[in-house]
Amino acid sequence: ATLAAQVRSAGVDLLVVGLGKPRQEQWARDHGAATGARVLLAFGAAADFLLSRRAGPPRPGLDATQRPG
C-alpha cells in the first residue's frame, strides 16, 4: 500500500510532514487528501531548530546558503 493509504488506514487526524522544502509542501499537495488526515502540518527543519540541532532560519534578506549548519 502507498504511504498515504497507510496513513488513512491508521485514522490519523494530524499529519506532520517533514521532508524539507519544497518536498514536504509538494507531498502534502499531491497526497494530502488521500491520507484522510484533517490537518497536515509541513514541519521541515523546524524540529531541528526547536531542538537546537541547527542554527535558526536565515534572517530576511539573507540567502539560505549563508546559514551556518
- Asked if pLDDT for residue 63 goes beyond 90, the answer is no
pLDDT of residue 34: 97
Beta strands in the chain, from DSSP E residues, in sequence order = 14-17, 39-42
Per-residue pLDDT tens for 1-52? 799 999 999 999 999 998 888 899 999 999 999 999 999 998 877 777 777 7
Say how far apart CA 16 and CA 35 lie, in whole Å.
Answer: 12
The answer to pTM > 0.75 is no
Can you give the length of the chain in residues?
69
Percentages helix, strand, coil for the chain (3-state, rounded to 5) are 40, 10, 45
Q: What per-residue confidence (pLDDT) applies to 66?
A: 54
